[in-house]
Amino acid sequence: MNFINPPKKSPQNVTHKTFFSQLYNHEIGYSIYLPPGYEENNDKYPVAYHLHGWRGNESSEVWPMEKAYENRRAITVFPNSSPVIDDIDSLPVEKMLIGELIPYIDEKYRTIPRGKNREISGFSMGGAMAFYCFVKHPELFASVTAYAGTFHHFFHKDSHTVGVAPEKATELYENMIREERYLEKNNVLYFIRQNADKIRGNLQISIHVGTSDVLFCDNEIIHLYLDSLNIPHEYKKFDGVAHELDLIL
């Protein structure tokens, strides 16, 4: 993987930086948006983290996400989370994000270092990782937005949800729930159930996906499972849209 990927050009108020990861023994790149006026005042700000999709990096989604972060009075961090592709089983991005990056950002920038002032989002592989971190560590975040999350990696390694027709989603979900392996420890469904009381009514969940996305059933299964546990969430389906971040923002 390439640990550091500065953009050719950044949006206004976005800069590229690096921090040293003990986990990887390497500098890792991140892009960061500081709200207008940050340098002129002493205010503290909430923080949003956004994890990019597969084959992306810390620079690849700063432009598509501009419409989201430029309207918020919050620091927004885009870490290079590519290591998740290299070693999905041990989830090194989770360890880097939770154990290293969040404490680093809270120390280096004027953040409000509390879970109720921190949100996380992501697209595709990053969307699933963001959601996984959120349901596993609900005390660290107030909200999550998963854009077309690649959840099958977090269900079970033998999941076959990719490319299934949307009308088959409910049947697929019902068959999955009958199998214990889909609810075993460290599975994303396990953490939803384990922390349901902490999440329900206290934290915000948004899931966005296109109906023509090959990952539609991945997202539908998360939606159906949240419903089964009476966990309120926003679920936006975009008719005819494929795996396209720009169209589901």
Condensed to tens digits (0 to 9), the pLDDT of residues 219-232 reads: 999 999 999 999 99
In this prediction, residue 92 carries a pLDDT of 78
Do 163 and 214 meet the contact criterion of CB atoms below 8 Å apart? yes
Question: 158 pLDDT band (50/70/90 cuts)?
Answer: confident
Do 221 and 172 meet the contact criterion of CB atoms below 8 Å apart? yes
Q: What digits encode the pLDDT tens for the residues 107-121?
A: 999 999 999 999 999
**Separation between Cα atoms, residue 135 and residue 31, nearest integer Å:** 25
Average pLDDT over residues 165-193: 94
Task: List all residues 6 or more positions away from 160 whose beta carbon is below 8 Å from its beta carbon.
Answer: 152
Q: Which residues pair with 235 in a beta bridge?
A: 207
In this prediction, residue 226 carries a pLDDT of 98
In this prediction, residue 159 carries a pLDDT of 87
Question: 91 pLDDT band (50/70/90 cuts)?
Answer: low
Whether pTM exceeds 0.85: yes
Give residue for tokens 């420890």: 185
Task: List all residues 6 or more positions away from 29 whose beta carbon is below 8 Å from its beta carbon.
Answer: 3, 4, 5, 6, 16, 17, 18, 57, 58, 59, 79, 80
Ranges of each domain in the chain: 14-248
**Separation between Cα atoms, residue 200 and residue 86, nearest integer Å:** 33
Fold classification of 14-248 (topology level) = Rossmann fold (3.40.50)
Question: 48 pLDDT band (50/70/90 cuts)?
Answer: very high
In this prediction, residue 82 carries a pLDDT of 74
